[in-house]
Amino acid sequence: MDWHPWGPEAIRLAGESDRPIFLSIGYSTCYWCHVMERECFEDESIAAMMNRGFVNVKVDREQRPDVDELYMTACQVFSRLTTGRASGGWPLSVFLDPTTLEPFYVGTYFPPTAAHGRPSFPQVLEAMSTAWQDHRDDVRRQSGRVAAMVRESLLAGEAVRPLGAVQVDAAVDQLMSMHDREHGGFGSAPKFPQPVFLEFLMEAGAGRAAIESAVASTLDAMALGGIYDQLGGGFHRYSVDERWLVPHFEKMLYDNAQLASVYARSHARTGSPLHRRVAEETLEYVLRELTDPGTGLFHSAQDAEVDAREGLNYLWTESEFARVLREAGLEDDVPEALALFGLVEGTNFQDPHHPEDPPANVLFLPDGLARDGWEDLRARVRPVLHRSRMDRDQPGLDDKVITGWNGLMIRGLADGGRLLGRPDFVGAAERAARAVLDGMRTPDGELMRTSRGGAVSVPAFLEDHAFLARGLLALHEATNDETWLAAAEQLVGAARRRFWGEDGAWYDTRADQPDLFVRSRNLGDGAIPCAIGTMLLVLEELHQRTGEAGYLEDLASALQRLSGSFAANPVASIYATLLVHRGLARFPDRLPDGTPSVEASPVELELPPDPIRFDEDGRATVRVGLRIDPGFHVNAHDPGHEELIGLTMHLRGGTGLEASVDYPPGSLYRESVRVHARSLELPVRLQRTGPLQGPYALSVRWQACTDERCLPPDTVELPLPLEGATP
């Protein structure tokens, strides 16, 4: 199988060989990624089809979140177009036009033979190859349509809307309506921990009994369920059921970083001993199993599968469980221990991919710690069971270091150390922070996103700067060491130079990335918070700690620019809504009030000053000039994609006159779209058809764009001074 890394060489090869790009996006601990690798990519006949018809590219979504975000959005757009329901997942399978990098077909996992309503991967390969060879125009129309919808999705809306208590209250109400009163959490299966929701409710709902109860019940339910590793500590990625019982078994650094902070904060607010224990055990797990002993940096994740069996390391049978305790001299504890960890209730896990395997148990605490003495029992048997489990084959470790995720973990350790009285946690956070600041940079000081074996790669994104800055601010709060505050300020300054847009708000990516067909703004907080929302919180914290007005100015500017998107869905952008909640108390006069900021148009229209005279046949020509500011362009009348807004001109008002326009074709932009830049002259032919009854005007409509963004469409009416026209 001939795989290529994402980059200019693979893109150039695809263009030169006139083959589409097949892009497979996944990550190390993705179970179905491994399944598709074994079933399809390692099959010689399928590999031959891939090599013959495509340039095949692999991307680790954790190294290139920008590429993943772009094409995952395309997957959601494409699935909505084709099935009526947006969906996505990994492995992400994308077929790209090599010239534009726009996707024309997107899916996720494909089996080697058709099954469960999914076409086989060979069928997909054959169909895509045929479409590219025989129906190229249709393919490009489809890719243009999908790409236009992706651009619309990833570029925040332009409308300015007021932000205030309405959005905060709406977010609280919606989350409470989503709250599962029986099992905790928000929504139905599969259930994700969603620490961003918990963080918001803990702050915005403080003092409101129903909200505090919803947060506490959710934290309790997760801590007692199988989503929490009852022996080793730490959380799996999500639960496949609504009870938090059976997890999808990956363990991700970002989940455990955020949840450790949330549980530590909850203990500090409520005094819950359960929440304290979970926070401590989670941080101890990270320091034990996800920390590089040489550097103190944190690894990314542990696999879901062991020996090609999902969750195998974490599963127990009743007989095995009892045997381990008996061999350790704890025979008297066996009956109560079986009850404590839920084994007396019967098996709860059957591998759906291997139905021939016997059923087994995911350990959980069905009765919690309500009975006297059960905490002591757990303390006796847990280390024994954990040592036995560590003698099994262990899940694979994704040992790459991700700067942003390390920032999340630094915050988790700093919060845990400060709130739980654990200076060892604070020390681990400081060690990691020094290692990131010293080791995750190029010789000229450029922050990098990933490293493995000490070799750094991929320039850092806004996410890395924002998450690391927030972690450093948590360290500053825990230590009062001004070093960490200064480092956070330096990071934000570097981020502003690279990710701040001309329109006064942040982008996720840099302006000079030729391998992206859109520079995105992701405003949605999910399992990983969005970078822009996090940076807004960082700016607010920096303003509070330093008093520097510039941080508040940037914060207010970004809120104004992005207010339409934030107001449209306060729960989706929950960090921005949290920022608005803080702003109501701290800077209410800087929250957007719905008044658009004034921005001069980059396009100026010109008409000859003299009255327009007609010849003896009633004809005249007027030339309309457009002057376009440097750095901007406008789409041509026929830009090449029907979804784009092209330049148009229409005659309005009056009778006795017709107009036609000779539109220039424009210049190719990024090899697929036609645009105009600098200046343009539009000849407008006028023809008298009767007595001139005015007034008349030319209505000109255009959309101006830069390489980073598009402004809202603009329409201007130019009065036509016609000689001989009756007003």
User: What is residue 624's predicted lDDT score, i.e. its pLDDT?
Assistant: 92
Residue type, 408: L
Please state the separation of Cα 600 from the chain's center in Å. Answer: 32
What Rg value do the Cα atoms of the chain yield, rounded? 30
Domain boundary among 538, 563, 590: 590
How many Å from the N-terminal Cα to the C-terminal Cα in the chain? 75
Q: Is the predicted pLDDT of residue 32 greater than 90, yes or no?
A: no
Can you give the residue range of the structural domain that contains 424? 165-304+398-590
Reported as a single tens digit per residue, the pLDDT across 443-472 is 888 999 999 988 999 999 999 999 999 999
Handedness of CA 92, 95, 98, 103 (dihedral sign): negative
Closest CA to 298 of 428, 446, 460: 428
For residues 553-568, give the mean pLDDT. Answer: 92
Q: Is the predicted pLDDT of residue 727 greater than 70, yes or no?
A: no
User: What is residue 124's predicted lDDT score, i.e. its pLDDT?
Assistant: 95
CATH number at residue 77: 3.40.30.10
Do 614 and 586 share a domain, yes or no? no
User: What is residue 715's predicted lDDT score, i.e. its pLDDT?
Assistant: 77
Handedness of CA 103, 107, 113, 117 (dihedral sign): negative
User: What is residue 596's predicted lDDT score, i.e. its pLDDT?
Assistant: 65
Q: What is the DSSP secondary structure assignment for residue 188, as one 8-state letter?
A: S
Do 366 and 513 share a domain, yes or no? no
Q: Is the predicted pLDDT of residue 411 greater than 60, yes or no?
A: yes
341 located within any domain: yes
At residue 512 the predicted structure's pLDDT band, cuts being 50, 70 and 90, is confident
The two structure tokens encoding residue 195: 């620490």
595 located within any domain: no
- Count helices and strands (H / E) in the chain: 21, 28
703 located within any domain: yes
Contact 331, 321 (CB under 8 A): no
Residue type, 312: L
Q: Which string of DSSP letters, residue by residue, matches 36-51?
A: HIIIIIT-HHHHHHHH
Do 120 and 213 share a domain, yes or no? no
Q: Is the predicted pLDDT of residue 705 greater than 80, yes or no?
A: yes
Contact 320, 332 (CB under 8 A): no
CATH number at residue 675: 2.60.40.1250
CA distance 537 to 548: 15
Do 427 and 471 share a domain, yes or no? yes
Instruction: Kindly give the pairing relationship between strand 3-5 and strand 55-60.
Output: parallel
598 located within any domain: no
CA distance 39 to 308: 12
Contact 689, 620 (CB under 8 A): no
User: What is residue 494's predicted lDDT score, i.e. its pLDDT?
Assistant: 95
Residue type, 423: P
159 located within any domain: no
Taking CA 201 as the corner, what is the angle to CA 196 and CA 202, rounded to the nearest 5 degrees? 100
CA distance 588 to 375: 48
Q: Residue written as tokens 């208590």?
A: 165
Q: Is the predicted pLDDT of residue 346 greater than 80, yes or no?
A: yes
Do 525 and 662 share a domain, yes or no? no
User: What is residue 608's predicted lDDT score, i.e. its pLDDT?
Assistant: 82
Surface-to-core class of residue 332, CB atoms within 10 Å of its CB (0-12 exposed, 13-18 middle, 19+ buried): exposed
Do 150 and 198 share a domain, yes or no? no
Q: Is the predicted pLDDT of residue 671 greater than 70, yes or no?
A: no
Do 178 and 150 share a domain, yes or no? no
Reported as a single tens digit per residue, the pLDDT across 304-313 is 889 888 899 9
CA distance 333 to 426: 36
Do 482 and 585 share a domain, yes or no? yes
Torsion of CA 335, 341, 343, 344, to 10 degrees: 50
User: What is residue 711's predicted lDDT score, i.e. its pLDDT?
Assistant: 73
User: What is residue 726's predicted lDDT score, i.e. its pLDDT?
Assistant: 57
Domain boundary among 124, 154, 184: 154
Instruction: Kindly give the pairing relationship between strand 648-652 and strand 455-459.
Output: unpaired
At residue 489 the predicted structure's pLDDT band, cuts being 50, 70 and 90, is very high
682 - beta bridge partners?
624
| Whether the model pTM is above 0.85 | no
264 located within any domain: yes
CATH number at residue 521: 1.50.10.10
Do 516 and 377 share a domain, yes or no? no
522 located within any domain: yes
Do 466 and 494 share a domain, yes or no? yes
596 located within any domain: no
189 - beta bridge partners?
none
Torsion of CA 136, 142, 148, 149, to 10 degrees: -160
CA distance 582 to 165: 10
User: What is residue 670's predicted lDDT score, i.e. its pLDDT?
Assistant: 66
Do 483 and 427 share a domain, yes or no? yes
CA distance 675 to 666: 5
For residues 106-114, give the mean pLDDT. Answer: 92
Q: Is the predicted pLDDT of residue 643 greater than 60, yes or no?
A: no
Do 503 and 574 share a domain, yes or no? yes
Residue type, 350: Q
Torsion of CA 88, 93, 98, 101, to 10 degrees: 20
Domain boundary among 563, 590, 617: 590
SS3 (DSSP) at 89: coil
Counting every residue written for the chain, the total comes to 727
Residue type, 74: A
For residues 186-193, give the mean pLDDT. Answer: 93
Distances in Å between the Cα of 409 and the Cα atoms of 162, 224, 253 are 34, 23, 7
Number of domains making up the chain: 4
